[in-house]
Structure 1
Amino acid sequence: MALIDDAARTYELDRRHVFHSWSAQAGLDPLVITRAAGSYVWDGEGNRLLDFSSQLVNTNIGHQYPDVVEAIVEQARRLTTIAPQHANDVRSEAARLIVERAPGDLDRVFFTNGGADANEHAVRMARLVTGRPKVLSRYRSYHGGTQTAINLTGDPRRFPNDAGNAGVVHFFGPYLYRSHFHARTEAEECERALAHLEQVIELEGPQTVAAVLLEAIPGTAGIMVPPPGYLAGVRELCDRYGIVLIIDEVMTGFGRTGAWFHSATEGVVPDLLTFAKGVNSGYVPLGGVLIGDRIAEHFAQRPYPGGLTYSGHPLACAAAVAAITVMDHDVVVENALGIGQEVIAPGLAQLAERHPSVGEVRGLGVFWAIELVTDRDTRAPVAPTGGGSPIMAEAVRTAKSLGLLPFTNSNRIHVVPPCTVSPQEAQEGLDILDKVLSRVDDLVDEANKG
């Protein structure tokens, strides 16, 4: 009873005083979370839910990992905070561990508080190095909620914040299921998407383009894994025109796709790589920019005009050191890869066969999307891009009632459990999704009968 009373007070105070992101405040009904452990969270009524969202796709090692919690506590006892102009041991060690796992010559780290400001600083660096104003980024992308980052974003959340004066030009990336290029194969999609990007560069004027910014795999926008050769093709275009390549691995980095960084599996080394989320599973806010030689050399004798009070905060870096150490010791990256190949991929394929509301499933590791449609032939989505629908709302309600906390966006359910998820937990989630999709099938059938 005390737990329920405490949850009720938490809810009351939240609704009275907390201003939530991305939401109209009056209609909110936030779920109260009282505790978490591993792959599970508990709500204010004591119900346990399997966290198939990893919150915002960031708790890569799950909740409350003891070694990481203890590292934060120990660091707080020893050195809670220090200004970023001073060297400290955990920041130095975190930087070493991160660059050792990064591709190519990315051997310096500028630490930030999260992914949005990492992208902001990466773009600033690119503009300063090239002396050019424009940045190209793709439609169907997300790069953060700060001013430059939201203008770089290619989903509808950009619209209210976009005055068209941020020096950002959007282009179409590869997405075979809803191909802008009328492609029938991955090879065609790749070739035509690269030709489109080159045309955009030429029409904008290569001498005006500072950077191309891409998510290694677009995350919130739909987990569209780029076809083989696409990232390498973008790298070649950037080299040809003297453009800085920035790859955003905020969501894909640190095990999510079954690799430390997805760009490395494609053999691509960007000039700048941004990260956050999984670097310490979000236990303390941390992000950063991995910097290659071209950018680092520019600032060897020139001051970089940027910084943050909490850059490389000791508590955040201690959490990163502990989290990366845990990921090595417990082969977490390999677990994510294996779970994806052996449990999630075949399980989702079976769900797609059984449920006519499933248009496509796609992903890698523990990073998957189920695209829901009202008609497989027309591929009409059950909800508009950037919006919701009664069908999606019912899917979320059903999932929670069955003990699953889902991640949804537009017409998709994303399957993004922690990288530490066990085969049994992954199968538990898929079994619940089977029931959720049966409910979606019924609602789609009712809607189509009208």
Structure 2
Amino acid sequence: MTDTPTAHDDVARAYELDRRHVFHSWSAQAKLDPMVVTKAEGSWLWDGDGNRLLDFTSQLVFTNLGHQHPRIVRAIQEQAATLCTIAPSTVNSARSEAARLIASHTPDGLDRIFFTNGGADANEHAIRMARLHTGRQKVLSTYRSYHGGTQLAINVTGDPRRWANDTASTGTVHFFGPYLYRSAFSATTEAEECERALAHIDQVVALEGPSTIAAIVLESIPGTAGIMVPPPGYLRGVREICDRHGIMLVADEVMSGFGRSGRWFAVEHDEVVPDLLTFAKGVNSGYVPLGGVAISEPIYRTFAERPYPGGLTYSGHPLACAAAVATIEVMEEERVVEHAAALGEEVFGPGLEELAGRHDWIGEVRGTGVFWALELVADRKTREPLAPYGGSSPEMAAVLAACRAEGLLPFANFNRLHVVPPLTISAEEARTGLGMLDRALTRARSDA
């Protein structure tokens, strides 16, 4: 008679096999000690030691409806029982309905949906469409940005993950976006930052040659780079520059879209309609990989009679699209976007400002909806970051360890903590998480 493996045996085996066979992204492999996750539900997950953790990360900011949402799980199960997969050249009801629902929420005129497997390839295809539509090659994007890990997307990216991959061969040019706390333009107000940031991009366009530029690619609200909400009028100003020169505006809504900012899409905050809008993550809460490009009518017409030279084997995969249909229906019926907006106004905004009043490591609080960042500094007067750009520090490590000890799973990038739980988190759970964060900062500060 053989013994039945225990839960501890399963955890140990999963960890051992991971370290033997799994090659992890963005990591020095030999230095890794990854967390084992055994289950998750709602806004919580459990690690291999049985600890229950409040997920303030939404993983990589994609479980917008939380973990194991029964409507999404059931939709995937029912689709699998009917049609697991089919080639993208055919029609299936899950893909058609997902496209209809997505188009019902994108800005006016973005009614055609090209499905991809995720956000990076969505940005790749959006740029390809812009280049073919305009007959131009150059693409402009900001330094503080992230647009994906594929060859073109990583070069459009501005953050340090680009450096090792950048061979200066992809026709990409970077500029400074608005970021008042660390202004590149010596601005002291949001209005000044907006005006000077627009003057800067206008000058970059002029010096690069407007007739050479296919697209300006912007995260509507930069996500991994720091959740810097653009000042009012900035996106409208970029739209005007694009219109003046026949440049396509690509709005990267991979992280900010589908309710994260308290609107269906973050471009709505500035009442802007891009030429192309990319999405992924929240479209189906990441339950099955899915991304896409919402396409304006002029760009659609470019390929109405001329083949679009691109596609993916799993484009519009039925399981992924069924999950998207369920996700969007839940968001509509349960008013998830309105809930996210209320959480930002009533819980996260005030609660994080209270934390800033108690912790001198917090240099700035910024965000909207369920999309917030704490910029941690060693000195508020000099604004010296608590960790260097592109790196970490013992102080940041202490903050993260203290969060885990409190039962909070944190999202950190360089010297920032991002507060990005599921949009469905309750106000009570959100306040519980802020209490955990408060105690963690106190503990880390006393240990420093």
Tell me the TM-score normalised to structure 2 length. 0.98
Question: 1:350 and 2:368 equivalent?
Answer: no
SS in structure 2 of the partner of residue 107 of structure 1: strand
Question: 1:289 and 2:293 equivalent?
Answer: yes
- Residue identity over aligned pairs, in percent, reads 68
In 1, are the aligned partners of 2:79 and 2:319 still within 8 Å (CA)?
yes
Residue in 2 aligned with 1:126? 130
Q: How does 1:370-389 map to 2 (within 5 A)?
A: 370-389=374-393
Q: Identify which of 418, 425, 433 aligns with 1:429.
A: 433
Question: Per-residue CA shift, 1:96-128, capped at 9, x if unaligned?
Answer: 000000111000000000000000000000000
Task: Give the Cα separation in 1 of the matches to 2:359 and 2:396.
Answer: 15
Amino acid paired to 2:341: L
SS in structure 2 of the partner of residue 183 of structure 1: coil
Task: Give the Cα separation in 2 of the matches to 1:251 and 1:102.
Answer: 15
Task: Give the Cα separation in 1 of the matches to 2:89 and 2:78.
Answer: 22
Tell me the TM-score normalised to structure 1 length. 0.98
Task: Give the Cα separation in 2 of the matches to 1:380 and 1:146.
Answer: 32
Question: 1:240 and 2:252 equivalent?
Answer: no
SS in structure 2 of the partner of residue 101 of structure 1: coil
Question: Per-residue CA shift, 1:46-101, capped at 9, x if unaligned?
Answer: 11000000000000000000011000000000000000000110100000000000
Question: Per-residue CA shift, 1:162-208, capped at 9, x if unaligned?
Answer: 00111000000000000000000000000000000000000000010
Q: Identify which of 230, 234, 244 aligns with 2:234.
A: 230
Residue in 1 aligned with 2:30? 26
Q: Which runs of 4+ in 1 moved over 4 A?
A: none
Deviates more, 1:133-142 or 1:323-332: 323-332
Residue in 2 aligned with 1:195? 199
SS in structure 2 of the partner of residue 173 of structure 1: coil
In 1, are the aligned partners of 2:154 and 2:165 still within 8 Å (CA)?
yes
In 1, are the aligned partners of 2:402 and 2:444 still within 8 Å (CA)?
no
Residue in 2 aligned with 1:61? 65
Q: How does 1:91-170 map to 2 (within 5 A)?
A: 91-170=95-174
In 1, are the aligned partners of 2:402 and 2:441 still within 8 Å (CA)?
no
How big is the shift at 1:10? 0.7
Residue in 2 aligned with 1:186? 190
Residue in 2 aligned with 1:404? 408
Residue in 1 aligned with 2:20? 16
In 1, are the aligned partners of 2:56 and 2:408 still within 8 Å (CA)?
yes
How big is the shift at 1:442? 3.0
Q: Identify which of 89, 92, 99 aligns with 1:88.
A: 92
Task: Give the Cα separation in 2 of the matches to 1:3 and 1:386.
Answer: 38
SS in structure 2 of the partner of residue 163 of structure 1: coil
Q: CA RMSD in A?
A: 0.8
In 2, are the aligned partners of 1:102 and 1:264 still within 8 Å (CA)?
no
Q: How does 1:64-79 map to 2 (within 5 A)?
A: 64-79=68-83
Residue in 1 aligned with 2:303? 299
Residue in 1 aligned with 2:340? 336
Structure 1 residue ranges without an equivalent (≥5)? none
Question: Per-residue CA shift, 1:189-246, capped at 9, x if unaligned?
Answer: 0000000000000000001000000000000000000000000000000000100000
Q: Identify which of 299, 309, 314 aligns with 1:310.
A: 314
In 2, are the aligned partners of 1:37 and 1:64 still within 8 Å (CA)?
yes
How big is the shift at 1:441? 2.9
Task: Give the Cα separation in 1 of the matches to 2:394 and 2:124.
Answer: 36
How big is the shift at 1:330? 1.2
In 2, are the aligned partners of 1:115 and 1:277 still within 8 Å (CA)?
yes
Task: Give the Cα separation in 2 of the matches to 1:385 and 1:132.
Answer: 33
Question: Per-residue CA shift, 1:17-53, capped at 9, x if unaligned?
Answer: 1000000000100000000000000011111000000
Question: 1:280 and 2:284 equivalent?
Answer: yes
Task: Give the Cα separation in 1 of the matches to 2:446 and 2:417.
Answer: 17
Task: Give the Cα separation in 1 of the matches to 2:269 and 2:176.
Answer: 23
Residue in 1 aligned with 2:43? 39
In 2, are the aligned partners of 1:210 and 1:244 still within 8 Å (CA)?
yes
In 1, are the aligned partners of 2:220 and 2:251 still within 8 Å (CA)?
yes
Residue in 1 aligned with 2:181? 177
SS in structure 2 of the partner of residue 148 of structure 1: helix
SS in structure 1 of the partner of residue 343 of structure 2: helix
Structure 2 residue ranges without an equivalent (≥5)? none
